[in-house]
Amino acid sequence: MDPTQAEKNFIECILECLEYNPQVMLALEPINRYETNLCNDTRSAKAMIDKMGKPNLRMLVDTFHMNIEEPNIIESLKRVKDCISHVHFADSNRWAPGCGHINFKEILMALKEFGYQGAISAEILPKPSAAECLRLTMEHYHRLGL
């Protein structure tokens, strides 16, 4: 689909949802370029959020996508800090935190520094098994002081 038309359709649909119940908050998640061609990074997602101008539209940031798209994850987090409503932790390979090369300690320090109070959830591949990646995630979270 033509990107301009896709954006127009997207805005129309999301605005309808946002206005249907302003008490319900939606979170726009920037997804890397290999999975979609709309809002691939925090800069374009922020522009989209600003364009729609609704207080019940915020941003969900995902470290896996940020690792692919953001020149500097920490600087990007700081730039959109007032928009963030949820955080997905996944390592560079979409495995459990600690199984790739993302520095979660510095990400967590940045989130704490600007007073992020929302949830941090793990969105990871269940490899080698769901139970094992849960164990690895919790072990890493505990090492981070979560």
How many whole angstroms separate alpha carbon 10 and alpha carbon 73?
26
Hey, is 118 helix, strand or coil?
coil
Among 41, 62, 70, 91, binds Mn ion (CB under 5 A): 62
CB of 60 to Mn ion, least distance (A): 7
**Binding of Mn ion at residue 91 (CB under 5 A)?**
no
**Binding of Mn ion at residue 69 (CB under 5 A)?**
no
Which residues neighbour 93 within 8 Å (Cβ) at sequence distance 6 or greater?
Answer: 99, 100
DSSP letters for 47-84: HHHHHHT-TTEEEEEEHHHHHHH-S-HHHHHHHTGGGE
Beta carbon nearer to Mn ion, 15 or 68: 68
Among 88, 104, 137, 141, binds Mn ion (CB under 5 A): 88
CB of 72 to Mn ion, least distance (A): 19
Q: Write out the residues near Mn ion by the rule CB under 5 A.
A: 62, 88, 123
The set of catalytic residues is 29, 123
